[in-house]
Amino acid sequence: MFKRYASLFGLIICCISFKTFSQQKTDPETIRPKMAWFEDAKLGIFIHWGIYAVNGIDESWSFYNKKISWPDYMKQLNGFTASKYDPAAWADLIKTSGARYAVLTTKHHDGVALWNTKENHYSIAKNTPAKRDVLTPFYAELRKRDIKVGAYFSLIDWSHPDYPGFLKDSSRYKAANDTAKWNKFRSFFQSQINELSNQFNPDLFWFDGDWEHSAAEWESEKVRSGILARNPNAIINGRLMGYGDYDTPEQNVPVSRPKFNWWELCMTVNNNWGFQHKDTNWKTPAQIIALFADVVSHGGNLLLDIGPREDGSIPAQEVTVLKELGSWNKKHSEAIFGTQAGIPAGHFYGPTTISKDSTTLYLFLQGHTQGQIMIKGLSNQIKDITVVGKGTKLTHQVVGKISWSPVPGLIYIDVPAMSIDKYMTVLALKLDKPVSLYRGKGGFE
Site map (CB under 6 A) of ligand FHN, residues 24-43, x = contact? --------------------
Name which of residues 197 to 226 contact ligand FHN (CB under 6 A). 208
In angstroms, give the least distance from the CB of 210 to ligand FHN.
10
In angstroms, give the least distance from the CB of 225 to ligand FHN.
24
Q: Looking at the DSSP assignment, which residues form a beta bridge with residue 371?
A: 415
In angstroms, give the least distance from the CB of 314 to ligand FHN.
18
Q: Exactly one of 94, 266, 267, 336 binds ligand FHN (CB under 6 A); which one? A: 266
Strand ranges across the sheet with 371-375: 371-375, 410-415, 396-399
Cβ closest to ligand FHN, residue 163 vs residue 423: 163
Give the contacts of 187 (CB within 8 A, at least 6 positions apart): none
Cβ closest to ligand FHN, residue 249 vs residue 434: 249
Site map (CB under 6 A) of ligand FHN, residues 156-195, x = contact? ----------------------------------------
Cβ closest to ligand FHN, residue 23 vs residue 83: 23
Strand ranges across the sheet with 425-431: 340-341, 352-354, 360-365, 425-431, 382-387, 393-394
In angstroms, give the least distance from the CB of 49 to ligand FHN.
11
Cβ closest to ligand FHN, residue 318 vs residue 421: 318
Length of the chain: 445
Name which of residues 90 to 149 contact ligand FHN (CB under 6 A). none
Cβ closest to ligand FHN, residue 19 vs residue 441: 19
The reply on whether position 250 binds ligand FHN by CB under 6 A is yes
Chain-centre distance for alpha carbon 218: 24
Q: DSSP state, 69?
A: -
In angstroms, give the least distance from the CB of 266 to ligand FHN.
5
Query: How many C-alpha atoms does 357 have within 13 Å on its Cβ side?
Result: 7
- Kindly give the interhelix angle for 135-144 and 87-97, rounded to the nearest 10 degrees: 40
Which is it for the CA torsion 163, 75, 66, 50, positive or negative? positive
Long-range contacts for 10-18 (Cβ within 8 Å, ≥24 apart)?
Answer: 10/257, 10/259, 10/260, 13/256, 13/257, 13/258, 13/259, 14/259, 14/260, 17/256, 17/258, 17/259, 18/258, 18/259
In angstroms, give the least distance from the CB of 113 to ligand FHN.
15
Number of residues in contact with ligand FHN, rule: CB under 6 A?
6
Cβ closest to ligand FHN, residue 236 vs residue 426: 236
Query: How many C-alpha atoms does 92 have within 13 Å on its Cβ side?
Result: 6
Cβ closest to ligand FHN, residue 2 vs residue 46: 46
Q: DSSP state, 237?
A: B
Name which of residues 284 to 343 contact ligand FHN (CB under 6 A). none
Give the integer Cα–Cα distance in Å for 329 and 97.
Answer: 7
Contact 63, 167 (CB under 8 A): yes
Cβ closest to ligand FHN, residue 80 vs residue 273: 273
Q: Nearest CA to 204 among 325, 41, 23?
A: 41
Cβ closest to ligand FHN, residue 266 vs residue 321: 266
Query: How many C-alpha atoms does 191 have within 13 Å on its Cβ side?
Result: 11
Give the integer Cα–Cα distance in Å for 97 and 45.
Answer: 9
In angstroms, give the least distance from the CB of 64 to ligand FHN.
9
In angstroms, give the least distance from the CB of 208 to ligand FHN.
5
In angstroms, give the least distance from the CB of 65 to ligand FHN.
11
- Kindly list the residues in this chain that would bind ligand FHN in the complex (CB under 6 A): 59, 61, 208, 250, 266, 273
